[in-house]
């Protein structure tokens, strides 16, 4: 007889209950593929094959499904829906600009969470009243976490797309409202497990969707990557729980793998940014962020120069460090920067790239962009490796980066990025900033280093500026 732990599954006349043994073995094989895929993705040489292996595993699992369940209903509609998914998902992934990649990942993650929540809802509609308490608990878990992931990811997508403000959205008493909605969701969750009813499920869905929005709203720009990673882990866990609801081992294994590895990854990212996870989620960037440093701005004197001046500074230096940032990526200037570095190398100048862990919008984002421009892997130096070298460097050229070199992270406890490790560019002899304007970075705070006497600004689009600098260096 069923215990409280009895897994779900569409037993009577359904399609899940009677899975042939060979299909179960195929699922085991696919689960191994996923483990090896994650393992492969953790190393630079094996990453691509790892991803391929994961994709192959997923394909095998889906194809097997149709052969293992010959009595499946609605087959043409199912295939049609899959075709729509492919037509939407594949071109989006292929055509997206590499700079817009983080928000696409957020979006993919969100729809995955939504799918997991829907799966549990449907299974509840089908057999909810007769399921064991264990399955009902897994159902409410999937519904809550899947919905939070869905709305949270969509909001993250909108923030990264800059369709809405990247600053924290703070509503009065927001924290209390969030706690209240969270507590209410918990109450309805328990209620649903005790006395299953469809209306409670609907209320739970609405509350969870609201909770996802409330949780992500106060998250400031720089913390967004961490949130994507966290929501990714959430979706993994909700997929695992939906696997329990359906009695499907593959979903449990795959979902849990993602949940566990995603949690670890999130912790690593938070560490790289020097921000405890709880701060990211609840402290967020406080309201004074917006007003901090607005007394400064455009009217304070800065030293600006032309491309020729910058070319001379660079051309007669012995050691140059380049700090690439999101601005470089937006301007698609990675090829120009490489050309410049090659020219400097030919003049016998030592050049390295200093890569902040969260340069760009996500950890590793900048590495991907520079790899696209054939920048050799060895020239990319990570923060811990490069920081001691700034003091012996003649010129640091910061291209479209701001927050990752902002000394406020060290000196000003009230700054929202306080505690984030930064690149110590101020230790160098001279600093050149290539920026479009004096506008603050993604975190929305002023950078004192822009006003430092040793800093020179070269205003303009990174690509145009670099092209001019390259021409000027060639002419020397």
Binding to other proteins (CB under 8 A): which residues in 11-70?
Answer: 14-16, 34-35, 37-39, 41-44, 47-48, 50-52, 54-55, 58, 61-62, 65, 69
Residue in 403, 412, 452, 461 annotated catalytic: 403
Measure the CA–CA gap between 16 and 33, rounded to whole angstroms.
22
Active site residue 403: yes
Q: Which residue has the tokens 């007394």?
A: 295
Q: Which positions from 320 through 359 interact with other proteins, judged by CB under 8 A?
A: 342, 345-346, 350-351, 357
Q: Residue 249, interface with other proteins (CB under 8 A)?
A: yes
Q: 473 vs 186, 315, 344, CA distance in Å? A: 64, 7, 8
Q: Interhelix angle for 334-346 vs 462-475, to 10°?
A: 20
Of the candidate residues 340, 362, 408, 417, the single one contacting other proteins (CB under 8 A): 362
Q: What minimum distance in Å lies between the beta carbon of 455 and other proteins?
A: 26
Of the candidate residues 20, 67, 75, 288, the single one contacting other proteins (CB under 8 A): 75
Of the candidate residues 368, 388, 391, 392, the single one contacting other proteins (CB under 8 A): 368
Measure the CA–CA gap between 165 and 159, rounded to whole angstroms.
6
Q: Residue 251, interface with other proteins (CB under 8 A)?
A: yes
Q: Residue 256, interface with other proteins (CB under 8 A)?
A: yes
Q: Residue 137, interface with other proteins (CB under 8 A)?
A: no
Is the Cβ–Cβ distance between 428 and 352 less than 8 Å? Answer: no
Q: What minimum distance in Å lies between the beta carbon of 74 and other proteins?
A: 6
- What SS3 string covers 254-319? HHHHHHHHHHHHHHHHHHHCCCCHHHHHHHCCCHHHHCCCCCCHHHCCCCECCHHHHHHHHHCCCE
**Residues in a beta bridge with 350:** 319
Q: What minimum distance in Å lies between the beta carbon of 226 and other proteins?
A: 10
Q: Residue 379, interface with other proteins (CB under 8 A)?
A: yes
Cβ-based burial of 381 (10 A; exposed 0-12, middle 13-18, buried ≥19): middle
Cβ-based burial of 114 (10 A; exposed 0-12, middle 13-18, buried ≥19): buried
Token readout for 156 is 């993250």
Of the candidate residues 23, 24, 29, 111, the single one contacting other proteins (CB under 8 A): 111
What number of chain residues touch other proteins (CB under 8 A)? 124
Is the Cβ–Cβ distance between 248 and 138 less than 8 Å? Answer: no
Q: Residue 128, interface with other proteins (CB under 8 A)?
A: no
Of the candidate residues 200, 214, 215, 253, the single one contacting other proteins (CB under 8 A): 253
Of the candidate residues 151, 280, 336, 367, the single one contacting other proteins (CB under 8 A): 367
Q: What minimum distance in Å lies between the beta carbon of 435 and other proteins?
A: 24
Query: Radius of gyration of the chain from Cα atoms?
Result: 26
Q: Which positions from 408 through 427 interact with other proteins, judged by CB under 8 A?
A: none
Q: What minimum distance in Å lies between the beta carbon of 319 and other proteins?
A: 11
Sign of CA dihedral 423, 425, 426, 431: negative
- Which range touches other proteins (CB under 8 A), out of 297-305, 379-387, 437-445, 463-471? 379-387
Nearer residue to other proteins within complex by CB, 117 or 431: 117
Q: 205 vs 114, 174, 212, 450, CA distance in Å? A: 11, 20, 11, 48
- Which range touches other proteins (CB under 8 A), out of 80-88, 290-298, 411-419, 468-476? 80-88
Nearer residue to other proteins within complex by CB, 165 or 345: 345
Nearer residue to other proteins within complex by CB, 79 or 287: 79
Nearer residue to other proteins within complex by CB, 286 or 335: 335
Return the active site residues: 403
């Amino acid at each position: 007889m069923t215990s409280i732990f009895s897994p779900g599954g569409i037993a009577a006349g359904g399609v899940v209950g009677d899975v042939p043994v060979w299909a179960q073995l195929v699922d085991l094989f696919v689960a191994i593929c996923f483990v090896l895929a994650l393992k492969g993705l953790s190393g630079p040489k094996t990453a691509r094959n790892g991803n391929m292996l994961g994709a192959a595993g997923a394909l095998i699992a889906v194809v097997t499904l149709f052969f293992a369940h010959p009595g499946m209903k609605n087959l043409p509609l199912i295939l049609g829906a899959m075709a729509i998914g492919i037509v939407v998902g594949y071109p989006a992934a292929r055509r997206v600009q590499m700079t817009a990649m983080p928000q696409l990942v957020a979006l993919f993650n969100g729809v995955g969470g939504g799918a997991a929540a829907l799966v549990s809802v449907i299974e509840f509609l089908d057999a909810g009243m007769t399921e064991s308490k264990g399955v009902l608990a897994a159902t409410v878990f999937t519904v809550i976490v899947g919905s939070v992931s869905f709305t949270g990811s969509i909001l993250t997508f909108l923030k990264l797309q800059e369709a809405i403000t990247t600053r924290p959205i703070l509503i009065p008493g927001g924290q209390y409202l969030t706690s209240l909605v969270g507590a209410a969701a918990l109450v309805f969750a328990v209620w649903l497990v005790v006395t299953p009813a469809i209306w409670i499920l609907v209320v739970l869905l609405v509350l969870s969707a609201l909770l996802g929005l409330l949780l992500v709203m106060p998250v400031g720009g720089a913390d967004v990557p961490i949130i994507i990673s966290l929501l990714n882990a959430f979706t993994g866990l909700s997929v695992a729980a939906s696997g329990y609801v359906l009695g499907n081992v593959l979903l449990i294994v795959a979902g849990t793998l993602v949940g566990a590895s995603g949690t670890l990854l999130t912790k690593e990212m938070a560490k790289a940014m020097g921000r405890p996870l709880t701060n990211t989620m609840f402290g967020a960037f406080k309201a004074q962020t917006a007003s901090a440093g607005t007394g400064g701005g455009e009217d304070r004197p800065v030293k600006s120069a032309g491309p020729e001046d910058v070319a001379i500074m660079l051309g007669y230096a012995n050691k140059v460090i380049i700090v690439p940032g999101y601005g470089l990526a937006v301007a698609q200037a990675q090829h120009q920067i490489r050309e410049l570095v090659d020219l400097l190398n030919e003049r016998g100048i030592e050049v390295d790239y200093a890569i902040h862990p969260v340069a760009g919008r996500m950890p590793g984002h900048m590495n991907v962009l520079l790899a696209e421009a054939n920048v050799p892997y060895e020239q990319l130096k990570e923060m811990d490796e490069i920081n001691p070298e700034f003091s012996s460097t003649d010129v640091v050229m910061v291209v479209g980066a701001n927050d990752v070199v902002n000394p406020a992270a060290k000196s000003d406890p009230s700054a929202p990025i306080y505690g984030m490790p930064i690149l110590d560019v101020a230790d160098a002899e001279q600093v050149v900033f290539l920026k479009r304007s004096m506008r603050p970075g993604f975190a929305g705070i002023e950078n004192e280093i822009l006003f430092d006497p040793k800093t020179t600004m070269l205003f303009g689009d990174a690509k145009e500026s670099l092209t001019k600098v390259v021409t000027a260096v060639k002419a020397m």
